[in-house]
Amino acid sequence: MNISPYYDYLLVMTDGSTKGFNDLEIAKGYINIYYENRIKKYSQKENYHDITELPGQFRNSLCQHMGVGEGECRVYNLQDFIGKLREELIFDDEKQEVISKLLKKDIDLNIYDYALDKILTDVEVINMIEPYGEV
């Protein structure tokens, strides 16, 4: 029996926590706010008074550094991810527990708690990064 998840997309944050979305633009906004807050936190630590004081190249380097150190936020099609989970040879009880969490409105799941990062490598990532600078 296939039950549809509440959300269409699953956002996986750098720490493995997850959040569901039905609109990719809202997911993109959530990711942008996350990174803006990370930049703001860093700029306060380094005695910058306003993040507008950060020169463009420094800001770009900072974001690259955060990406290398922490990884990146990624968005997946939730239905595709659930399909891959159903194909996996993990214990049925654990599989059903994870799938039931993914179907809920309030997804309470960390991918690292169940080693789901290995399964996610087989699920296509939805590109959320827009071109930056000269193309």
- Domain membership flag for residue 117: yes
Q: What is the mean pLDDT of the chain?
A: 84
Q: Could you tell me which of 14, 60, 17 has the C-alpha nearest to residue 39? A: 60
Q: Based on the structure, what is the number of domains in the chain?
A: 1
- Domain membership flag for residue 134: no
What is d(CA 90, CA 68) in angstroms, rounded to the nearest whole number?
30
Q: Which domain holds residue 109?
A: 9-126
> For 91, phi and psi rounded to 5 degrees?
-55, 135
Q: Is residue 135 very low, low, confident or very high in pLDDT (cuts 50, 70, 90)?
A: very low
- Domain membership flag for residue 3: no
- Domain membership flag for residue 29: yes
Least confident of 50-59, 84-93, 97-106: 50-59
Q: Could you tell me which of 124, 113, 97, 105 has the C-alpha nearest to residue 21? A: 105
Does residue 73 carry a pLDDT above 80?
Answer: yes
Amino acid at 105: K
DSSP state letter for 17:
B
Q: Is residue 49 very low, low, confident or very high in pLDDT (cuts 50, 70, 90)?
A: low
Q: Could you tell me which of 25, 5, 35 has the C-alpha nearest to residue 109? A: 5
